[in-house]
Amino acid sequence: MSPDVVVVMVIALFLVFLALEMPVSWALATSGGIGLISLQGISVTQSSLAAIPYSTTAVFSLTVVPMFILMGSFALHGHIAEQLFNVAERTIGRISGGLGIATVVACAGFAAVTGSSLATAATVGRIAVGEMRQHGYQAHFAVGIVAAAGTLGAMIPPSVLLVIYGIITGEQIGALLIAGIIPGIISAGFYIVYIVVRGRHFIEPSKATEEKRPVGGPLPYRALFRAALLFAIVIGGIYSGVFTATESGALGALTAFVLMVVELRRDGFAVIRRRLGDALREAASITSMSFAILVGAGIFTAFLVSARVPTRFTAWALGLDAEPWVVLVMILLIMIPFGMALDPLSILVITMPLAYPVVTSLGFDGVWFGILVIKMIELGLITPPVGVNVYIVAGTVPGVTAEQGFRGVLPFGLVDLATVAVFFTFPALVLWLPGRAGLL
């Protein structure tokens, strides 16, 4: 059988396995394994299966992934997100559209202590959507705000997706994390501008006035301190060059643990012990799931390499009679249909071994490309039919359907595209900060 036929067959098999509800990780491993058998025989495939799980995971720099996940988990159980929303709500919530803006600010703040979009959307959504609904926000608008702002979790460091992009491509993880700061802030700013400009069309005026009522009680400003402290340890450590990304992740996780214990101290030892157990178990489970996809992708990539697909794809793309920026735009646009069918991590591990060599061979910067890719992949989180953020946020509010959520998030998707266009046009917005830190 010719390699081309095998490649087509294996890709088709992968899609069939996905449709049959096989986890993405095992679908990649199974289809990649079948491809390897077809091209290399059983003995070579067995050697690959024996070696890849260890070689793709037993790498010191990968430690940063579980550390970021653990830090986010401790921050979650330490109630940082709820308190950030509380502070934002009561300081900004009184202006028109203020609750929506407060939600974006809370998401950006929580994104600075967690590496996950899903965690950001789910945690802030649990509190914010109900609050916005009470104050006259139409359901689709409220869900749209949280689902879109939740994607900031993957852009504002610490970001697990940026780390994994770095692992796959070999780009410096510290540079990628620092590069995500300004784009994250600009993305949040664009969401806020949209809410200010269009929000009044989706908020019932009679209930909206209730936003202006004075609210008593002390504000949990300590949440700001805790989020700032974690951000300073992780990003400050990397920016100043004092710590590597891995070391910053571990110190961030340790600090988040201490902050969680301090926050929960009044609830008693039993609660702290339970929360600690939950945080550790959840982090371990998510880490296992993420790395299972990396192991599966390792097997799949071994098959693609044995079929010389990356080399041939790069040669084909470089031979196209088109301007380099057109090729880049095409690659970025391909992420949208991928986003409609797959989760962000899977898209990253499937597409980057093919796309990254093309883009860097065309002379583009790998860090800048990484930020554009993550932004495009994050669009998938709010795009039907697999817009995970929308399902998660809609699921937290009784009576709100995913369809309403997708309706509400559509304008934010267009805002995201506009944001990508800005980063595309002005690469300095992405590269200035890591350049200042001497990471480029």
Partner 1 sequence: MRSLIHRSARFLALMSALAGAIMMLTVSADVLRRTWTGRPIVGASELTVLLLVAVIFLGLGEAERTDTHVRMRLLTSRLPDRVAALLRTVALGMSLLILLWLVYATGVRAYRSYLSGEFLFGLARFPVWPARALIPVGFLGVALEVALRTIDALRCFLGLETVTDGLRGWRISERPDGPEQGGTA
Binders in 45-104 for partner 1, by CB under 8 A: 46-47, 49-51, 53-54, 57-60, 62-63, 66-67, 69-70
User: Closest distance between partner 1 and the C-beta of residue 65, in Å?
Assistant: 8
Q: Which two tokens stand for residue 201?
A: 């069309």
Please tell me the distance from the alpha carbon of residue 7 to that of residue 38, in angstroms, as a whole number.
Answer: 10
Candidate list 7, 10, 14, 33; residue touching partner 1; CB under 8 A: 33
Q: Which listed residue (245, 253, 332, 420) binds partner 1 by CB under 8 A?
A: 253
3-state secondary structure of 96: coil
Count of residues touching partner 1 (by CB under 8 A): 76
Within 8 A by CB and 6+ apart from 139, the residues are: 133, 397, 399, 400, 404, 408
Task: Report the residue number, 191 or 364, with the smaller CB distance to partner 1.
Answer: 191
Of 284 and 440, nearer to partner 1 (C-beta) is 284
Q: CB nearer to partner 1: give 120 or 314.
A: 120
Least CB distance to partner 1 at residue 376 (A):
12
Q: Among 261, 284, 329, 334, which residue sits at the site for partner 1 (rule: CB under 8 A)?
A: 284
Assigned token pair, 305: 């390499």
Shorter beta-carbon distance to partner 1: residue 224 or 284: 284
Binders of partner 1 among residues 203 to 242 (CB under 8 A) are 242
Residue type, 426: F
In this structure, are residues 387 and 381 in contact, taking their beta carbons and an 8 Å threshold? yes
CB of 406: closest distance to partner 1 in angstroms? 12
Please give the residues from 140 up to 159 whose contact with partner 1 meets the rule CB under 8 A: 153-154
For residues 348 and 365, is the Cβ–Cβ distance under 8 A? no
Least distance (Å) between residue 230 CB and partner 1: 14
* Least distance to partner 1, CB of residue 136, Å: 28
Helix (H, G, I), strand (E, B) or coil at 41: coil
Residues 399-438 interacting with partner 1 (rule: CB under 8 A): 402
Give φ, ψ of 285 to 5 degrees: -65, -45
Taking the C-alpha atoms of residue 233 and residue 113, their distance in angstroms, rounded to an integer, is: 10
- Residue 47 Cβ vs partner 1, minimum distance, rounded to whole Å: 8
Q: Report in angstroms how near the CB of residue 310 gets to partner 1 at its nearest.
A: 23
Q: Which residue, 306, 304, 361, 373, is CA-closest to 335?
A: 373
Q: What's the closest the beta carbon of residue 352 comes to partner 1, in angstroms?
A: 14
Query: Least distance in Å: CB of 101 to partner 1?
Result: 24
Using CB under 8 A as the binding rule, the residues of this chain from 105 to 134 that contact partner 1 are 115-118
Residue 289 in the binding site for partner 1 (CB under 8 A): yes
Q: Rule CB under 8 A: is residue 12 a binding residue for partner 1? A: no
Q: In whole angstroms, what is the distance from residue 72 CA to residue 122 CA?
A: 13
- In DSSP terms, 137 is beta-bridged to 203
Q: Do the Cβ atoms of 123 and 142 come closer than 8 Å?
A: no
Select the span of 127-135, 177-185, 252-260, 422-430 touching partner 1 (CB under 8 A).
Answer: 252-260
Three-class SS state of 203: strand
Least Å distance, CB 404 to partner 1, is 13
How many CB atoms lie under 10 A from the CB of residue 5? 10
Residue choice 292, 359, 379, 439 for contact with partner 1 (CB under 8 A): 292
Backbone angles phi, psi at 213, to 5 degrees: -70, 140
Subset of residues 327 to 346 that bind partner 1, contact rule: CB under 8 A? 341, 343-346
**In this chain, which of 283, 331, 431, 433 binds partner 1, going by CB under 8 A?**
283
Stretch that binds partner 1, among 12-20, 141-149, 189-197, 424-432 (CB under 8 A): 12-20
Residues numbered 382-401 forming contacts with partner 1, rule: CB under 8 A: 385-386, 388, 391, 395
Write the single-letter amino acid at 336: I
Contacts with partner 1 in 366-385 (CB under 8 A)? 377-378, 381, 385
Could you tell me if 186 and 420 are in contact, meaning their C-beta atoms sit under 8 angstroms apart? no
CB of residue 427 vs partner 1: minimum separation in angstroms?
24
Cα dihedral 410, 411, 414, 419 sign: negative
Return the structure tokens found at 274. Answer: 């339970």
Which is nearer to partner 1, 25 or 419 (by Cβ)? 25
Closest CA to 385 of 340, 419, 347, 438: 340
Torsional sign, CA 282, 286, 160, 244:
positive
Q: Which of residues 171-210 bind partner 1 (CB under 8 A)?
A: none
Among 290, 314, 404, 419, binds partner 1 (CB under 8 A): 290
Question: 321 exposed, middle or buried (CB, 10 Å; 0-12, 13-18, 19+)?
Answer: exposed
Residue 156 in contact with residue 177, Cβ under 8 Å?
no
Phi-psi region of 136 (alpha: psi -120 to 50; beta: other; left: phi over 0): left
Q: Which is nearer to partner 1, 127 or 390 (CB)?
A: 390
